[in-house]
Amino acid sequence: MDTVIELSKLLFKGNASCTSTPTLKTARIMESAVTGITLTTSIPMIIIVVTTMILYHRVAKHNATSFYVITLFASDFVLMWCVFFMTVNRKQLFSFNRFFCQLVYFIYHAVCSYSISMLAIIATIRYKTLHRRKKTESKTSSTGRNIGILLLASSMCAIPTALFVKTNGMKKTGKCVVYISSKKAYELFLAVKIVFSFIWGVLPTMVFSFFYVIFCKALHDVTEKKYKKTLFFIRILLLSFLLIQIPYIAILICELAFLYIPQNTCFWLARVEILQLIIRLMPQVHCFSNPLVYAFTGGELRNRFTACFQSFFPKTLCSTQKRKESDVSEHDQNSKSKASVEKNQPL
């Protein structure tokens, strides 16, 4: 979502209107291309992963951690749809009213906070299991309660961000923007940006770096194949998060520095817009990487898809398996008979 700050009235006391430069046009085209690729690939992939995990959860009655992973991918699915609505609105393909703009922006920030928190919960559960603490199977009610509390907390964190959202009334288009028209609102906007930079950037990176180091050390000591595969998946998931998150922190810090010390130049405005453009792309890259890691790490998706297929089509698989076993037994009998004939032949 674009950030519209009345810089000419608030900060610069004069002309701060800059036309679109070729660099900005190229950056916007690249953003549209990356957004289109992530939307067209992530949404079908997330649907396949979530459907497979739900069916496997019903068939195998797996532990509560799998249900947490399901909600993680479901939150990624919701976030990608928020990105879709924000993109078509930014390109002015659809016009929204102020309430719908605030709703989309609120859900977007709430889901981002929920995804990061849920990933931390999954890593914490694996950490407890790794250190052989008392392992108790979580009931469905307690799992649902934990998810509900996390959703409530994420929603409360997202409320301040929706307060700045309006439609661009100056151009009389239904384009959703973060509109700031006073000096106090600008200062409050900077404060919210600093808080979210810490919540979304610094804190998760510190926590997941700790878990990543722990899981890397544990992989050398774990001998059971089941735990080794799980730790490998969590480690790759955290590694993909950190590889995206560390540049994200650097970009957030640069944006805060530019917003804190504004300049009356078109070059400054272009740099701020490019930074905001990259920041908008980072959550999409996270949503793209999560199902990709799950699908191609350790064969979990393939194994669970096969288990679901076996549970829904047992007769076909059983007949196929019996046919294979009969073919093997016939082959063994034929080989034995040939060996006996060759043995009885005179030299």
What's the CATH code of the domain at 50? 1.20.1070.10
Q: Which of 314, 316, 313, 307 is nearest to 59 (CA)?
A: 307
Query: What is the C-alpha separation between 283 and 118, in angstroms, rounded?
Result: 15
Answer whether residue 207 shows pLDDT above 60.
yes
Q: Which of 201, 229, 192, 9 is nearest to 105 (CA)?
A: 192
Q: What does the CA dihedral 114, 116, 120, 126 come to, rounded to 10 degrees?
A: 90
Of 301 and 277, the structure prediction assigns the larger pLDDT to: 277
Query: What is the C-alpha separation between 207 and 52, in angstroms, rounded?
Result: 29
The pLDDT, as a whole number, for residue 304 is 64
Max Cα distance, the chain (Å): 112
The pLDDT, as a whole number, for residue 81 is 92
- Identify whether 342 is part of a domain: no
Of 144 and 44, the structure prediction assigns the larger pLDDT to: 44
Answer whether residue 62 shows pLDDT above 70.
no
Q: How many domains does the chain have?
A: 1
Report residue 266 as tokens: 């078109």
- Identify whether 229 is part of a domain: yes
Mean of pLDDT over the chain: 73
The pLDDT, as a whole number, for residue 319 is 45
**113-123 per-position pLDDT tens digit:** 888 888 888 88
- Identify whether 36 is part of a domain: yes
Query: 127: Cβ–Cβ under 8 A, 6 or more apart, which residues?
Result: 211, 214, 215
Query: What is the C-alpha separation between 101 and 169, in angstroms, rounded?
Result: 13
* Most confident of the ranges 7-11, 38-42, 182-186, 261-265: 38-42
- Identify whether 319 is part of a domain: no
- Identify whether 334 is part of a domain: no
**137-194 per-position pLDDT tens digit:** 445 557 778 788 888 888 887 887 777 777 765 555 577 777 777 777 778 878 878 8
Which residue reads 């532990």 in tokens?
Answer: 63
The pLDDT, as a whole number, for residue 78 is 92
Query: 245: Cβ–Cβ under 8 A, 6 or more apart, which residues?
Result: 201, 204, 205, 208
Average pLDDT score over residue span 50-75: 75
The pLDDT > 90 percentage for the chain reads 2
Of 258 and 223, the structure prediction assigns the larger pLDDT to: 258
The pLDDT > 70 percentage for the chain reads 67
Is residue 200 within 8 Å of 112, Cβ to Cβ? Answer: yes
- Identify whether 220 is part of a domain: yes
- pTM tops 0.85: no
Q: Give the pLDDT band of residue 65 (cuts 50, 70, 90).
A: low
Is residue 281 within 8 Å of 30, Cβ to Cβ? Answer: no
Give the pairing type, strands 165-167 and 176-180. antiparallel
Helical packing angle, 266-296 and 300-312, nearest 10°: 50
In 3-state terms, what secondary structure has residue 275? helix
- Identify whether 183 is part of a domain: yes
Q: For residue 241, what are the domain limits? A: 2-306
- Identify whether 159 is part of a domain: yes
